[in-house]
Amino acid sequence: MNIKINRQGSIESFDIPFQSTTLLKALFYIKQQEDNSLTFSSNCRSGVCGTCAVRVNGKEVLACSYNYQEGDLVEPLAYHEVQRDLKVNKQKVRETLKNSKAWLQSSQQAEITQEQVELTQKQTDCILCDSCYSSCPVLELNPNFIGPFALTRAYRYTADPREGNIQSIVDTIQTNGIWDCTLCGNCTEVCPQGIDPKMDITMLRGTSSQFGYNDPNFQAMDFGFGGF
């Protein structure tokens, strides 16, 4: 089996002398037996720590959860500063969590039903692997876009009955936030946890309307006919 790895722009080819297994095992084989300098990130080997996301043939996967195929091209995540080979700077991207204030703003006592827990059960499965962020075409145009995972996380807290100040989150995600999303659904497609950020963003738009916010794109599209 042969795989190709994008290392700082140059494509290197490696032969793996065993049948397809996880991509992470192949990367370890290369690092330990062939080339100590191959650099990538990983940790739990079981798809919960979110460390080992890369792109294979242009699509985001967790290296520990993907079985490689002959000729695969492995590349670092997009819209992240590449530190070396497949290792990227996630710290900067984590700033989006601060920008979206994705936490419980003000904790209040609440009776919570199992149905309410299940409403955001998927969203709280997020492992912060950044796959969705890497797949998001909006970042090509607007590097300040908060991005899918931080918005999903913001939604998760707005939907928590313990949240006593939904408005604070809603106010925060208006600029470079929910209205910048094109609802293309790439994020939903690549999420290894089956989360649907596109739907979460749609839900946040609904909540925002309740707080008096409108889609600024609609206003921009008002051609003098009184708008929509």
Partner 1 sequence: MIDVLIIGSGGAGLASALRAKELGADVLVVGKSYPTASQTSMAQGGINASLGNVTADSISSHITDTIKSAHKLCDNHMVEYICHDAPKTIEWLESLGVPFDRTAQYKVAQRQLGGASSKRACYAQDYTGLKILHTLYDTCLKEGIEILEEYFLLNLITEEKVVLGAIFLDIVTGEVKEIRAKSTIIATGGYAGVYRGFTTNSEGATGDGIASVLRAGGVVSDMEFVQFHPTALKSSATLISESARGEGGYLVNSKGERFIDELLPRDVVARAIASQIANGDEVFLDIRHLGEDKILHLMPQEVHLCRLYENIDPIKELIPIKPVAHYSMGGIDVNRELEVTGLKNCYAVGECSNAKVHGANRLGGNSLLEIISLGRLAGENAYKLNVDYSNRDNQQLQKEQEYIESLFEEYPWERNFYQIQDELGRKFYNDAGVVRDNTKLNNLLNELRVIKADIDNMGIGDKERKNNTNLVEFLQFKNILEVGEVILDSAIVRDESRGAHYKEAFPNQDDKLYRANSLYWIEDGILQNRLVKVV
Please select the residue that binds partner 1; options are 160, 180, 196, 200, rule is CB under 8 A. Answer: 160
- Our CB check for partner 1 shows the closer of 48 and 56 to be 48
Q: How far is the CB of 85 from partner 1 (least distance, A)?
A: 8
The amino acid present at 1, given as its one-letter code, is M
Q: Dihedral (C-alpha) 127, 39, 18, 9: value to the nearest 10 degrees?
A: 100
Can you spell out the DSSP letters for 130-184? -HHHHH-THHHH-TT---HHHHHHHHHHHT-TTBS-HHHHHHHTTTTTGGG----
Number of residues that bind partner 1 (CB under 8 A): 53
Please select the residue that binds partner 1; options are 12, 14, 49, 202, rule is CB under 8 A. Answer: 49
Retrieve residue 147's tokens.
Answer: 């991005």
- Our CB check for partner 1 shows the closer of 1 and 49 to be 49
Taking CB under 8 A as the rule, does residue 56 contact partner 1?
no
- Our CB check for partner 1 shows the closer of 172 and 214 to be 172
Retrieve residue 179's tokens.
Answer: 């209205």
Please select the residue that binds partner 1; options are 13, 57, 69, 83, rule is CB under 8 A. Answer: 83
Q: Which of 18, 32, 17, 23 is nearest to 5 (CA)?
A: 23
Taking CB under 8 A as the rule, does residue 112 contact partner 1?
yes
Q: How far is the CB of 117 from partner 1 (least distance, A)?
A: 6
Please select the residue that binds partner 1; options are 4, 20, 59, 65, rule is CB under 8 A. Answer: 65
Taking CB under 8 A as the rule, does residue 75 contact partner 1?
no
Taken in order 9, 132, 92, 68, is the CA torsion positive or negative?
A: negative
Please select the residue that binds partner 1; options are 92, 103, 137, 219, rule is CB under 8 A. Answer: 103
- Our CB check for partner 1 shows the closer of 113 and 141 to be 113
Taking CB under 8 A as the rule, does residue 125 contact partner 1?
yes
Contact 16, 4 (CB under 8 A): no
> What is the edge-to-edge ordering of all strands in the sheet holding 10-15?
10-15, 2-7, 73-75, 53-56, 59-62
Q: Which of 61, 64, 92, 65 is nearest to 77 (CA)?
A: 61
- Binding residues for partner 1, rule: CB under 8 A, are 31-33, 35-37, 39-51, 65, 83-84, 87, 89-91, 94, 97-98, 101-104, 107, 111-114, 116-117, 120-121, 124-128, 153, 156-157, 160, 162-163
